[in-house]
Structure 1
C-alpha cells in the first residue's frame, strides 16, 4: 500500500510541476539512477517524493506537505519558504500600499512589477542580485512619496 501511495504522489507531483516525460525520467535518473518509480525501492521513492514536493512548494504549485505529526512547525515552514530578501520586497510593497502609492497588493501585481523591473516572471525566481535591485527600486519609489 505504501508503495502505491508513493508512486501516486510522485505522479501527482509530476503533473503539478508540469514535467514532460523526458524531464521526469531525467530527474529520476539523476536522483536514483533508475528511470522508473516502479523499479525503485521504498527509500528511493521517498527521496524522489520529498525532492519533488520541495520543488513544488518552492514553485508555489503545492502547499507544504505534512511530514510527521502537526506540532506547530507547519506555519514556520511555510514562512521559511520565502527568503529574507523576498520578505523585504513584500514588506516594502505593502508599505507602498499603506502609503497610498500601490493600489493592488496581490502576488500577480507584485510579479508584474518584478517583471518590468528585473525581467523575471515572478519574485520567487529572482536571484539575490535581482532581489537587491527590487529592494532598492522599491525604496527609491517610496522616497518619492508625495507630501500630504
Structure 2
C-alpha cells in the first residue's frame, strides 16, 4: 500500500486545528465541561448519560490525537472523524428539538445555528485530510 499524496500547508494546518479542537473537547468531556456535555445527551438514548459523556470524550481524544499524528493514515482518519460528526448529529438535533441549553446555546436560534455547523465539521474533516480527494489511494 502506497501512502497517499501529500496535502497542502493549508490542509495540514486545518487538520491540526481540528485535531486540537477535538483534544480540547475530549478533555472537556472528562473534566471542566462534563455537566454541559451531559445536558446534551438525548433522553431517548438508552445508555447511562455519564457513560456517553465519558465514552465520547475518550473517542474525541483518540480522534484528535489521530488527526494531529495522522501521517500515512490520514485518509482513513478523515473518514472516521467525519463519521463521528455524523454519529453525534442526532444529539445536536435533540438539543434543538428539546430546547436544552448548554454551552451558551440558550435560544432556539443559537441551537439551530449550531445544527448548520455540524455538516461544516464533516466537510472540514474530509477536506483537511484530503479523504475525499485521496479516497482511492488506499
TM-score normalised by length of structure 2? 0.24
Return the TM-score normalized by structure 1. 0.23
Structure number with larger C-alpha Rg: 1
Greater relative contact order (Cα < 8 A, sep 6+):
2
